[in-house]
Amino acid sequence: MIVDKLQQLGQHSIAKIQGMGRATLMLFGALIAWPTPRKSFPLLLKQLYVVGVLSLLIILVSGLFIGMVLALQGYTVLSKFGAEQMLGPLVALSLLRELGPVVTALLFAGRAGSALTAEIGLMKATEQLSGMEMMAVDPLRRIIAPRFWAGVISMPLLALIFTAVGILGGHLVGVDWLGVDGGGYWSAMQANVDFQQDILNGVIKSVVFALIVTWIALHKGFDAVPTSEGISQATTQTVVTSSLAVLGFDFILTAVMFGG
């Protein structure tokens, strides 16, 4: 009875660790190679379009609305203390430090991560990856590497755009609608936001999240059971696992960067 439970636990752990090992091997196989910019740059460009440009709309719209909601909610509390001029720092700091990187990573996992998993899973199911190997084309180099770099490059850029649009959205609601002083909005922000402490740390966060989300998405697709059910499971797992990983790592990074 207890031994059965223990066996289950052991099986589960071994499977998890094997999965992590396969994911690491996949990443090393894709990234450690002699760079061939002439061949890989067009592939990277295509993936930057698919992963980055096509995610732009959802990032712009949600950034705008999150900035607007922050300003609206912040205003109701701050106006009770007569501290409306602190609305700028409130919106800017919460977007730069937390919401920009985290919400972008979650949206990115849902929008681009799931698509990557489904695409690669389907390639595996239709034996396109095996076909490439037959033609002496390394699928890790041809399929995985450009998608990985595209994700890692485009997500920090998306997070920057998200944050900037959010701050403009906060300006729209706070200054143009609720009547906070416009000069105070920007000057209080400038007095309270530090380039290194806030902006650079936010960018570091989004680079870490980009690595995590893209890696998980690619591995789940590459490791998917090559059936329609397996692909659907892998896609779900991508979104769930990478969202949880982003939130977990966010806590650790926040504790390290801003905790002390």
Partner 1 sequence: MTSRRIEVLVGLFVALAIAAFLLLSLKVANSGMTGSGQTYMLYAKFENIGGLKVRSPIKVGGVVVGRVRSIELNTEEYSPVVAMEIDSQYNNFPETSSVAILTSGLLGEQYLGLQPGFVDETVSILKSGDYVEDTKSAIVLEELIGQFLFNRGSN
Q: Is the dihedral of CA 28, 44, 224, 252 positive or negative?
A: positive
- 200-259 residues near partner 1, rule: CB under 8 A: none
Rounded Cα distance between 216 and 158, Å, is 19
CB atoms within 10 A of CB 128: 14
Q: Which of 27, 48, 175, 224 binds partner 1 (CB under 8 A)?
A: 48
How far out from the chain centre does Cα 80 lie?
A: 36
Rounded Cα distance between 258 and 202, Å, is 11
As measured in angstroms, the least distance from the Cβ of 196 to partner 1 is: 8
Contact track, partner 1, 83-112, x by CB under 8 A: ---------x---x----------------
Q: Give the range of 5-13, 32-40, 41-49, 252-260 binding partner 1 by CB under 8 A.
A: 41-49
Q: Counting contacts by CB under 8 A, is residue 163 touching partner 1?
A: yes
- 166-205 residues near partner 1, rule: CB under 8 A: 167, 186, 189-191, 193-195, 198-199
Q: Which of 72, 132, 157, 204 binds partner 1 (CB under 8 A)?
A: 157
Own/partner pairs, 32-40, CB within 8 angstroms, 24+ separation: 33/141, 33/145, 40/141, 40/145, 40/146
As measured in angstroms, the least distance from the Cβ of 217 to partner 1 is: 19
Q: Which of 21, 42, 131, 248 binds partner 1 (CB under 8 A)?
A: 42
Number of residues near partner 1 (by CB under 8 A): 28
Rounded Cα distance between 96 and 257, Å, is 13
Residues whose CB is less than 8 angstroms from the CB of residue 26 and which lie 6 or more positions away in sequence, other chains included: 140, 144, 218, 219, 222, 223
Residue with tokens 């990234």, as numbered in its chain: 31
Q: Give the range of 12-20, 68-76, 161-169, 251-259 binding partner 1 by CB under 8 A.
A: 161-169
Q: Counting contacts by CB under 8 A, is residue 158 touching partner 1?
A: yes
As measured in angstroms, the least distance from the Cβ of 52 to partner 1 is: 5
Q: Which of 33, 53, 57, 256 binds partner 1 (CB under 8 A)?
A: 53
Report the interhelical angle of 2-31 vs 145-171 (nearest 10°).
Answer: 90
As measured in angstroms, the least distance from the Cβ of 179 to partner 1 is: 21
Rounded Cα distance between 179 and 171, Å, is 10
Rounded Cα distance between 44 and 110, Å, is 21
Q: Which of 31, 33, 45, 61 binds partner 1 (CB under 8 A)?
A: 45
Nearer to partner 1, 31 or 191 (CB): 191
Judged on CB neighbours under 10 Å (0-12, 13-18, 19+), 170 is buried
As measured in angstroms, the least distance from the Cβ of 33 to partner 1 is: 23
Footprint on this chain of partner 1 (rule: CB under 8 A): 42, 45-46, 48-49, 52-53, 56, 92, 96, 154, 157-158, 160-161, 163-165, 167, 186, 189-191, 193-195, 198-199
